[in-house]
Structure 1
Amino acid sequence: MLSTGSASAAAYCSSAGYPEPGFPMSRCTVLGSGTLFHQKFNASATKTQITTWYTKDSGDPITAKFGYSHSGTDYWAGNFNQSKGTTKSTSWFSYTPDFRCATTVGLLSVVGQGRYQTPPANCG
């Protein structure tokens, strides 16, 4: 299952790639025009929510798509447009047991610019 929308998130990202200390399931990367985030959490006892989002602080509008990588396979959502001063996100759901601790990487592919990623998110 997939959803696309806006996410509320603080745009803080430490130099080690963590938006908050002690939470290895949430990772981030500072890019030239904003910050890319990737997070997993247990939405229920049997469901893990995987979310990738981008807070765009400056620069020209972009056309991009979000994804995540797991075990050598990339999973992508559809394209979206984004302007400065906005946050966009996409979420996926996994019903695989203990997926919250599986290693995943958040992805952002920007048309005409390239592909960006977060550090790996897992249970540390």
Structure 2
Amino acid sequence: MVEVDLNHIYKKYEGNDKYSVNDFDLHIKDKEFIVFVGPSGCGKSTTLRMVAGLEDISKGTLEIDHKVMNDVAPKDRHIAMVFQNYALYPHMTIYDNMAFGLKLRHTPKDVIDKKVKDAAKMLGLEEYL
């Protein structure tokens, strides 16, 4: 895990005169667990999509481990997220679904096992592995 900093983040979609995300600041410390909660349309998903690199940041900087990531491709950010309308791979076990992104990055099996089990424990899913 590393630190994540969102510094004065703005998002304005083309053709819209209002910002979807307006001057958002957040510092996430190493090993800290963050949850975004708010009404529909308040910018939660947009912010997460900007962190993942799936949306461009209109203004501001995103830093991961003290490196500016604004122009880094999503695949190179090493970010994983579960979307609101998520899709699991039905032919895979829960364990394999959770490990999928790490396997794509050729993470060693022992590291994958530890990370999946740690995440399952945090989410109360241990009995389903």
TM-score class normalised by the smaller sequence: under 0.3
Which of the two has greater helix per residue? 2
Which of the two has greater strand per residue? 1
Query: Normalising by the residue count of structure 2, what TM-score does the alignment of the two structures yield?
Result: 0.25
The structure whose Rg is larger is 2
The higher relative CO (CA closer than 8 Å, separation ≥ 6) is in 1
